[in-house]
Every structure is written in C-alpha cells, then in structure tokens.
A and B are shown apart, each in its own frame.
Chain A
Amino acid sequence: MQTLHDPLRAAREAVRSGKFQDAAVTLAELPTEVREGAEWYLLSAMVSWRLGDFAASRREALAAREGYRARGDADGEMRATNVAAAGAFGLGALADAEDGFHAAMQLARELGDPLMAARCSNNLGNVALYLAQHDVALSFYRIARAGFERLGFEHGVAETWINSAITWRDLGRHRECLGAADQALDAAEQARAPRLIAEALANRGAALAALGDDTLARVQVDRALGIARQEGDRFAEADVLRLLGLIAQTRGNPELALARLREALGVAEALGHPWTTAEVQRDLARVFRALGRNAEAAGAFAAAETAFRSLGSVPRADAMQREGAGESG
C-alpha cells in the first residue's frame, strides 16, 4: 500500500517530542507551497506559542483559520480558533481570548468533539481567573472537568482541579483549596503526570500553610520542588519557590521568605512568564511592607501592577495600584 506523503511529518514529530525549536527550523525550511497551507500555519502557530512568541502564534493561527474556513473544514477551523485564542491569552488580550475560546467551544459542540469543548471550557476558566471572576472560573472548570471525566482523561481532570484549587486559594477559601488539591493529586497520580503532581502538592502545601499546618505544608512543598526540578519543569519550580516564600513568611522568617521569593522571581523572569512574575512581585511587595521597607515594597507593587496589566488582568492590576498606595488589598 502506498502511503500519502506528509511534508509536515518531521515537524509534527518534533512537536510531539517537545522539540519546538527544531520544529520551528523544520517548518521554516519547507517549500513555499507548503508554507501557504492552513496545516502549516496551524502547526507553526502551535510551535510559536510554545516558544513564547504569542503575537506570531496568533497571526499564524488566524491565517490557518481563514484557510480552513475557505475550504469548509470545520474541524481545522475549530483547532485554529482555539490556538488563536490561546495566542490572544498570552498577549493579555483577554476579551479576544474569551471570544475565541467561546467560538472554538461552540464549534466543538457542534462537531461533537467533547475533548476540545472541555479544553475550551478550562481555558475560559483561566480567562475568568485572570479577570478575578472567581465564580465564573469555578463554573467553567466544573464543566470542563465533567467533560474530561466522561472521556476518562485524567490529565485534564487534574488540571481543572489544580485550577480550581488556585481559584479557591485566591479567594482565601483554604479548606476548599485543600479539597480541590486533594482531588488534583489523585487525578494527577492516575495520569502519572509529574508536573501535575508537583502542582497539586504545591497547592496542598499552600492550603495547609494557610490553615496553620506549616510542618506538613513544608513537606508537601519540598516534595513538589523536588519533582519540579527533577522533571526540569521551571514553571512549577517558580510557583513552588513562591509558595515556599509564603510559608517562610507565615513561620515568621521574612529573610528566608525574601530569599525564596527572589529565587522564584529569577526563575519566572528567565522564563518570561508574566503571570508568575506578577504573583511573585506582589508577594515580595507584601513581605517588604511587613518589614517596613516601604520603598522596595512600592517598587514591587508597581512591578506587579505592570505585569498584571500586561496580561490584561485589569482588576488585579488595579488592586496592586491600590495596595501600593497604601490602601488595604
């Protein structure tokens, strides 16, 4: 049997193995006629997103969407719409992201693609979380979780529980955060996903610390840090270091808290991850303020505000501005 030639095969394989830089090079070297196709644009958009070039990703995804639309390929259009929305999310254009994820979710429902529908719902939850619309976020995570559960996709189930835990933590509802993190850990272990296990443990640790059990919290977060480093997952590492800083502060050790938070900031900035950067700056500012180091606190609040604003998270940016001006946060 003769197999059809797929000019994008090498690039797809590089993407599957997580070699995004290699994939970018392979894609750039393909002939012009291939680089004008919707498939090329979509794959390139995914690679650009992974490499952090959200503007290019969005541009390419929109080009892919037009290509798919022109030939009536609704499935391709759905996938391209989702990637374009993810690009907008990365750029902090939250309204565009929200529109895009909604459109992709609608298409997914029409096409009977429950996995994509669940993913879009999870993404819409993240948009709502950035906008500090906690109840909306929890609602989308709940719907996404039902979809993932139905498909037996434990990885997705774990992600929605982790996102729910983060949302509850943001609300100061630490018992609910702990409950969600427990569920996340079970699902992450079933999915055998170390990154998710680390994140679930970190959220458990944060909840336990907030509930006053900092000894157990420390065990959880230390283990999370170990897994994150072992897996080379620097996003998780930055978040876990930040939580270790918060635990140190809770335990009355502000110097250690500052050291941990600065470490976290270094990792977050090296990654160019504005959300984590914003969160670390906010926590640093609060520790500085508690120590009476007001000038440094003001600088960190301003940096957090800038980072949140760059993400389109206006309510959070405004809150940082108020807190920096000395109003209660």
Chain B
Amino acid sequence: MKIPLAYNLRNLAVRKTTTLMTALGIALSVAILAASLGLVNGLKTVFTGTAHPLQLLVLRKGANSELGSTVPTDAFAILRAKSGAARDSAGEPLASQELVNVANLPSVDNPKGMNITVRGLSATGIEMRSVRLVAGRWFQTGQREVMVGQAVAKRYPSARIGNRIRFGKGDWEIVGVMDGGQSVLTSEIWGNFDQISADYNRQDSSSSVLLRATDPVALDALKHSIEDDRRLNAFAITEKDYYDSQTSSGAPLEFLGIFVAVIMAIGSGFATTNTMYAAVTRRGKEIGTLRILGFSEGSILLSFLAESVLLSALAGILGCLLAMPLNLVTTGIGSMTSFSEIAFRFRIGLTALLSGFAFAIVLGALGGILPARAAARKEILSALRES
C-alpha cells in the first residue's frame, strides 16, 4: 500500500523554513550547472550562426586559422575560375579574398584591452554574409573607414561612430555599425580589403578566400578540386566545420562550471541527508503509527524517498528560475583560433534546464536514501514511544 504524496507535501510545507533552506542550497548548484551549459550553448549558437551551409573557407595548407594563413592573389584568380562556384546577379563568382588580423581595444570587461578581429573584404564578401547596416553607413573604398559589429559597438566604449581607432599603420574612422545577428561577425571590425592589406604590408596576398558553391554536390567537388590543385598549396574547409571547432573556446569555463556544480552538489547532498534524518527523528511516532495501520517497511522507505525527491524537485525548479535571468546577459570569450573576443548571449534552453532539474532529482534521491532506510527499519514499538 502506498502512502499518498500529499502526506509528504504537507510535511514539507509544515517545515517550510528548513525545506526552503535545504532546497535553496541545492538550487544554487543547479543554477550553476544550468548556467555553464547555457554558456556553451550560447557560444555554439554564435558559431553555428556564422556558417553558411554552402560556403568554403580556403586556407594555406598547414594553417589552422585565418589568422595564421596566407593565400596569394594569383591563387585567388585560380579559385575564382573554379567551376561549381555560385554567381551573383552580375554573373561574377561569389568569391571573396579577405585579410584577417586583430586590433586591441579596451573593453568594459577588460580595461587593459582585448583583441578584436579586423577583416578586410570586398563588396562581394559583404554580400556573401547576412549582415545588415543598423547605424551610419558602409565604408567607402579608398578611405580609412571601418564598420564595427553591434557587439563591438556595445562592449567597447571607444567603438562609436565618428571615433577613430588605431590598428595597422594608423587611425581608422568608424562610419557604421552592422548587425550579423547571432554570429561571430557581430564581434568583428570590417574595412576595405585593399586598404587594410596595404596597412599590414600584404598587398600580394590575403589570409583566406571565401567561396560559395551552387549546391551541396558542387560544394564537395569544389573542395576536392581545391585540395588536388597543385598550383594552390591550399585546402578548403566548410564554414560549418571551421566554426564548429571553435566552440571548444568555452571548454575551460564549462569544465570549471560543471566541476563547481558537482562539488557544490556533494555539499548540498550531505545537507539534504541531514534534513531528512531530522525529519525521520521528529516523526518517529508517526512512522510507528503508519506501520501499525498496516503500511509496510517498503512503503515507508518509498514515502521518505519521495519526500526527499519532492524537496529536490522544488530545488530544481528554484535553481532553473535563478539561472533564467542569465539569458539576458551578453558576455565575451576569447577564441584561440581567431585570437580575439567573441561576444555571445547565454542560452539556457530546455536541455540545460532539464539537465539541471534531473541533476537535482538525482541529488535528492541519493541524499534521501539513508534516512529513508533508517525510517523504514525503525522498530514499531520503540518508534511509538519516541517523544
């Protein structure tokens, strides 16, 4: 025979201070776990949001980032001529040679300065990205003008329209702010390819070439044709693969978060055990009475276990509620691939919340098992005599 759950619920409600205190302890570790998962999820969203499914990034063989790669201008000509490349309305191939470097600006989080990706590209390069102008205007060819991504504009006080920032050989005027949605591009500074490559003494070469294929089959063929082309000494990687691998930038923080959540959970697990033991001690008489009424040892065990799990379920919900506001927070993390800061928003989605909740339930069950066993094993007569 099963003891109704309402009995446990009422018991938790009667000892509401103890219940809340214990639950809050578990809730905090749940919140930290959910936040860590939300952080990595947010970072992943930004990286996957950058990739176009049909675009290939061409880098020098042996390079593992745009920053550490060089592709000569004559290779760009060969790449443009490859079949399988998509074309724009004017019939020109969608291929963009780009120069990537970093500039250092003081940010809100790091007054000492943080790196931001600087990308030199052409009109075709802009067309190949889903980026829209939100303020000011686009940069003009031949001028020392740049655009900043919206995240850069928000996080770096010196990145305002009309301000000048310094990189390469001198000052550049910020003339516009662009929005790349949930993508890495929002954390970049863009300028004209020729202008920027001249500043870095790289007139005859670029860092990378971005190519769009007409369809997935052409994408594969294009990739192979680039890698087999002995004139190029280059390789092609899909934008998706390139950005996916950068998600690991969040790994140290994720590891730290999970490590902390697990250790905190052990601490709150002990606390749950304590609370449940106290409940068992206080209700000795009740337990005896229940046994006399015919409830078996098993149902007593289950009932106390259920109470512990209910307590931790409450904690799980509390923890999720505590973590939720983080969804509004934008923060930045350094990518070792681009050697610069990527801004992203926490994304505590259903998976993170459910993981946190499940974590709490497991904790409640583990913490409650010993007290529940102690309750079930009480001698009926001596239990009845307890004060």
A and B physically associate: no
| Residues of B that sit less than 8 Å from A by CB | none
